[in-house]
Amino acid sequence: MAQRGGFSNRLGFVLAAAGSAVGLGNIWKFPFEVGQGGGAAFVAMYLLFCFILAFPVMVTEIAIGRKTQLNPAGAYTALGYRKWRGLGVLGILCGTLILSYYNVVAGWAFGYFVEMILGNFDIGTRFGEFTRDITTVGGYAIVFMLFTIFIVSRGVSGGIEKAAKILMPTLIAMIIGLVIYAMTLPNAMKGIEFYLVPDFSEINLKTIRSALGQAFFSLSLGMGAIITYGSYVDKNENIVASAALITLADVGIAFLAGLMLFPFVFSQGLDTNGGAGLIFITLPGVFESLGGHLGVIIGGAFFLLLSFAALTSTVSLLEVPVSYAVDEHRVERKKAVLLVAVIVFIIGIPSLMANGYSKILTNFITYIGAESPTDFMTFVGHIANDTFLPVGGILITMFAAYVWKKENLNRELEAGYPNFKGSFAEKYVDLGIRIICPLVLSILVIMSVLETFFGVELF
Ligand code: TRP
């Protein structure tokens, strides 16, 4: 076991899993998806999907992880279902794909930390120039990958968890402070209205696909990261309660990030449809408005903490293929980390170039019926987050309900939760894994794939 490294039980699985869940997905991606998805209607769908469709998947992943103490591929074999190994391997590949572009954006966040420290508040208006400059953003991406390599190769226990315990609450406090500041600005209420008053005519298959992908992505579900983390959970820990806590914390932070951002967007007269640049375009102006030193301090601290949140997520994404290589192929941990990191970085190069540097990759594909082209990085997100993660959710819940079977899952859930049998939680999880997740997820995934990639207009 020692070879696997991993997380110290002492500081708790909830903290580590929350560290994986809370990241760029909450603070960078969620607000821009809301902006593109028409506002509050997207928020409502996202919340619904998190609690109804993603939560049972989280419970299942933790249970499989704790039962088997293994990486996603090894886990299915250990339960006696070697044929399902492919699902684990698929998840590992999907995570690798996600990390390839996640690392690029994490590099942007770190680069913005440097720009804030230098007092370059106009970086917001130069976002396009910034991402186009391949040597600079490439350099930041390499630096960020080195941070991740450093932590994962030491085995993930110790330092980073302790740091997360202090830094995450600081980030939350900072966001709350910024929410309060945002409320004092002109036009703030227009932002709040956009964010909180739903216009259900904004719902279509594209927004459904993004909200669903966002729910899985934000909670780190569907590819086995939480199976890996589940392998570090103590037998006397209550899995259902832990899953609820992680979900609430993650959703809560995303919600706060949106509450902070939209008043800023509206008070600066910016476009909610700003895509991947939304927070990077909006926030520097906000920090500048705080004035001189205060702006430098708050702006620098914000992007530093954001980078840190991203780091606890890149660590979890890298840990999955690494634990696979260590457990299944007996590769030495340090070697495995380097090997996987280099592969991930190379796969990420097209994403690095897809934000202005390469015309072909920036205008990579125009979906049938779409008005404007989609860049390569966003395209990878549509495939990996929005399609593969929910497909992973379908298969994991079907596996638990129909192959591994309810009794075995329940036995695992009862450990640490003696009153589980007969409880509301039991019925909720059972209904989720047997019917709701497989059925509803399948319908949503099939419809949204047909619409997005094949231009079929269903409604
Ligand atoms: N959930 C993280 C975020 O919101 C990203 C992430 C980390 C992730 N590990 C994952 C997404 C595993 C999918 C699967 O930033």
DSSP labels, 292-332:
HHHHHHHHHHHHHHHHHHHHHHHHHHHHHHHHHHHHHH---
Sign of torsion, CA 39 45 51 57?
negative
Q: How far is the CA of 210 from the centre of ligand 1 (A)?
A: 15
For ligand 1, atom 8, name the residue with the nearest CA. Answer: 220
* Cα dihedral sign, 70-74-75-80: negative
Q: Where are the domains of the chain?
A: 10-352+388-454
Does ligand 1 come within 6 angstroms of the Cβ of 390? Answer: no
Joined together, the tokens standing for residue 244 give: 């609820």
State the distance from the centre of ligand 1 to the C-alpha of 218, rounded, in angstroms.
6
Query: How far does the centroid of ligand 1 lie from the alpha carbon of residue 98, in Å?
Result: 8
Residue pair 187/266 in contact (Cβ under 8 Å)? The answer is: yes
| Helix, coil or strand: residue 365 | strand
Over its length of 459 residues, how does the chain's per-residue pLDDT go in tens digits?
334 455 555 456 788 888 899 999 999 999 999 999 999 999 999 999 999 999 999 999 999 999 998 889 999 999 999 999 999 999 999 999 999 999 999 999 999 999 999 999 999 999 999 999 999 999 999 999 999 999 888 876 666 677 777 888 888 999 999 999 999 999 999 999 999 999 999 898 889 999 999 999 999 999 989 998 888 788 888 999 999 999 999 999 999 999 999 999 999 999 999 899 999 999 999 999 998 899 999 999 999 999 999 999 999 999 889 989 988 899 998 999 999 999 999 999 999 999 999 999 999 999 888 889 999 999 999 999 999 999 999 999 999 999 999 999 999 999 999 999 999 999 999 999 999 999 999 999 999 889 888 888 776
Encoded tokens for 145: 């990958």
One-letter amino acid at 124 equals: G
Ligand 1 nearest-atom number relative to CA 21: 1
Contact 249, 16 (CB under 8 A): no
Cα(92) to centroid(ligand 1), Å: 13
CATH topology assigned to domain 10-352+388-454: Hydantoin permease (1.10.4160)
Separation between Cα atoms, residue 270 and residue 124, nearest integer Å = 11
Give the C-alpha separation, 53 to 59, whole Å. Answer: 11
Q: Measured from the CB, is residue 313 less than 6 Å from ligand 1?
A: yes
Task: Give the count of alpha carbons within 13 A of 99, CB side only.
Answer: 33
SS3 of residue 4 by DSSP: helix
Determine the distance separating the centroid of ligand 1 and the alpha carbon of 310, expressed in angstroms.
9
Q: Return the structure tokens found at 62.
A: 């933790």
Cβ of 220 less than 6 Å from ligand 1:
yes
CA 232 to chain CA mean position, Å = 20
On whether the CB atoms of residues 261 and 33 are closer than 8 A, the answer is: no
d(CA 381, CA 459): 24
User: The tokens of 321 are what?
Assistant: 């293929």
Confidence at residue 2, expressed as pLDDT on a 0 to 100 scale: 37
HEC assignment per residue over 27-79: HHHHHHHHHHCCCHHHHHHHHHHHHHHHHHHHHHHHHHHHHHCCCHHHHHHHC
| Token output for 150 | 């450093």
Q: Which of 181, 348, 170, 145 is nearest to 263 (CA)?
A: 181
Asked whether the beta carbons of 209 and 386 are under 8 A apart, the reply is: yes
Q: Is 223 in the pocket of ligand 1 (CB under 6 A)?
A: yes
Q: What are phi and psi of 69, to 5 degrees?
A: 60, 35
224: left (phi over 0), alpha (psi -120 to 50) or beta: left
